[in-house]
Chain A
Amino acid sequence: MIVRQVCMRQSRQLLALNRPRVFSRFLSTDEGRFTSIPEIRSASEPEQYSRDASKQKFRSLGSAVKEPYEPEDILRNPPTPGDITLELLLASQTHLGHSTSRWNPQNSSYIFGIREGVHIISLDVTATHLRRAAKVVEEVAARGGLILFVGTRKGQKRIVVRAAELASGYHLFERWIPGSLTNAQQILGHCEMKVVNALDEVLPQFSNGKNSTAGAGGAAEEEEGAERPALKPDLVVCLNPLENVVLLHECALNNIPTVGIIDTDADTTKVTYPIPANDDSLRSVGVIAGILGQAGYAGQLRRLREAEHGRLTYSPTFSAKET
């Protein structure tokens, strides 16, 4: 059931200039809010050059702008899976598909209709698939899986980095090196790894000289630690599957499930969990990636809370015998 916003916009009292920011997204299904979300902190600049200092002088002048749109909000405070509403998806332009001549007929069940020669994606289908994908991301994170967020288009760098930061996952915004999974030892073998306990704290005694950040004393340089096998992600979230065909193919060969934003011209069979949505608009990509990042954050929080009570939510993938 979708409950619409009530009275917030019309209230005159709220037009006061110094009112606190009100979340305009109303929950349709309250999945619970998560505390202490890591936000991007404001700049700590010298007093005389502070933006707020100059704003204070002129705050009383001019018109009162109610609910200004700030593009940075998608990164600063991304929506959570509980915030998924059709209004949000519509405002983020996720319903806009491509020209009708460019469509992939396999996607016909995702399409609502045609407007001005462009396919319109059905938003309830988008919402359903997005919620499912968010659940998948949350559960993989809760079980200690490695989640890789991929977005190689221009402008997707900050979106992908922020989503990975929230979900304690990994990001990729430059070209995917072909063979990173099928020839992993060659391409990623030199990259560093770390052995962690249930609370994600590094255990320096298990680090060997070759692949680790924490050196185990001076002996690390001399002993030839065997190179550990390169790691592979447990879930890949791809924001532009049309440009990452090789990546998705490698994931399929290695039995790695993938989540992807499928536009009306994309191939829906290439990903495990398609999200039919607009992949060209940065706003739509930002909202979707933000939701998945928040889902990952919830999963990590759950996993760490279980670990604090001495329970491991997954079977250990590393034993003390491997050194």
Chain B
Amino acid sequence: MAFSRPNCIVHTMQSIRRAGQQSSFVSASPIPTQLLQRQQRHLLSTTSRESASEVQAAPEIDFAQFLQTPARIIPASPAYFSGSPKFIDYLLDLERIQAKYAPLPLVAANKAPRMAWFKLPQFRDFVGEQVPVKKYRGLIKILQRLNRIKPNVAPEEVRQTLSRFLRPGNPYGNKPAPATVDEMGRGRGYGKRKASSAVVHLVEGDGDVLVNGKSLAEVFPRLHDRESATWPLRCTQRLDKYNVWAIVRGGGVTGQAEAITLALARALLVHEPALKPALRKAGVITVDARRVERKKPGHVKARKMPTWVKR
């Protein structure tokens, strides 16, 4: 007998009830449920019950298996399509932290603790991407801005983030011990100029100056040289307070005088470190690195060329 297959559960149940009342053969329902099975057992004859029990409910979803199955492969970073995802991620993280801690007070840039950030080749190696110079400088600017947050209110998150960008070791931690006056009251300084090198011992005294065992006038007949040699003491008005013992070798007269200048300034700083700004203004701290330029082939001297001839 032709049987139209019902689509929904209601129709199925109705047809089964009808079948049960008529005790006739029932086709397997497409959607058997527990309720349906109970109804079937109740209403149907033994033969129908056997055919109905062949159809089982769907097995439970194995979520463990489902969650272990790979579904797709996706980029690890949202900045994947930029070509330098790691750098962009670092940059965005720093900007987020900067915006988050924007209200915190700052110190002046020169008062902030000195940090040894990664140099560009080191950072490129660290990140594994060819970061352009300009963009890295932008990153450093954000790091410097975060570094300026007052140390006593700087949050742990900021400090940890900054430490990720530091060079390993502590380059600014290994400072040499500041030089001190020795047991005989002498301060020592070294200085160089052109081919001359000088060592000066400075001790509290009356104002005697000896260069290579001789007096200043004997060694430097030129007034300019005498004045430049003693300029560190004269500009700070301490010429009558210290005795100078200088040994100088190499070079010429003026070179030796300038070498003594530098050495004397350094020896004076051993006695009085607070004089540094004054001596820097006087121009005796900076080393003069000029040397005699070598002669080149095709030239008469370092720069001088032989006379140009038309033919």
Using CB atoms and an 8 Å cutoff, list the residues of chain A in contact with chain B: 43-46, 49-51, 144, 146, 148, 161, 164-165, 169-172, 174, 176-177, 180, 187-188, 190-201, 203, 206, 212-213, 228, 231, 233, 309-310, 312, 314, 316-320
Contacts and interface: CB of A to CB of B under 8 A. Distances in A.
A171 B85 contact: no
B81 A197 contact: no
Given A177-B83, A198-B66, A317 B73 contact: yes
B79 interface: yes
B69 A316 contact: yes
Contacts of B101: 43, 45
A170 B80 contact: yes
A199 to B, nearest CB: 7
A152 to B, nearest CB: 11
Given A45-B103, A50-B103, A203-B68, A191 B77 contact: yes
Given A43-B102, A148-B81, A194 B76 contact: yes
B35 to A, nearest CB: 22
B282 interface: no
Contacts of A165: 78
Which of B67, B77, B82, B153 has most chain A Cβ within 10 Å? B82
A144 B78 contact: no
A170 B103 CA distance: 30
A42 to B, nearest CB: 9
A146 B74 CA distance: 8
Contacts of B92: 161
Interface residues of B, number: 33
B100 A44 contact: yes
A193 B69 contact: no
B73 A194 contact: yes
A169 B81 CA distance: 11
Contacts of B73: 193-196, 228, 231, 317-318
Contacts of B83: 177, 180, 187-188, 191
Nearest to A158: B95
B67 A198 contact: yes
A164 B78 CA distance: 8
A176 B153 CA distance: 40
Contacts of B77: 191-192
A193 B100 contact: no
B63 interface: yes
B38 interface: no
B70 interface: yes
A203 B71 CA distance: 10
Given A49-B105, A196-B70, A231 B80 contact: yes
B103 A144 contact: no
Interface in B62-115: 63, 66-83, 85, 88, 92, 99-105
Nearest to A199: B67
A319 B66 CA distance: 13
A57 to B, nearest CB: 15
Nearest to A206: B70
Interface string B248-285: 00000000000000000000000000000000000000
Contacts of B81: 148, 170, 172, 176, 180, 188, 233
A231 B70 CA distance: 16
A316 B70 contact: yes
A191 B75 contact: yes
B128 interface: yes
Contacts of A190: 128-129
A195 B70 contact: yes
B78 A310 contact: no
A310 B63 CA distance: 7
Contacts of B67: 197-199, 201
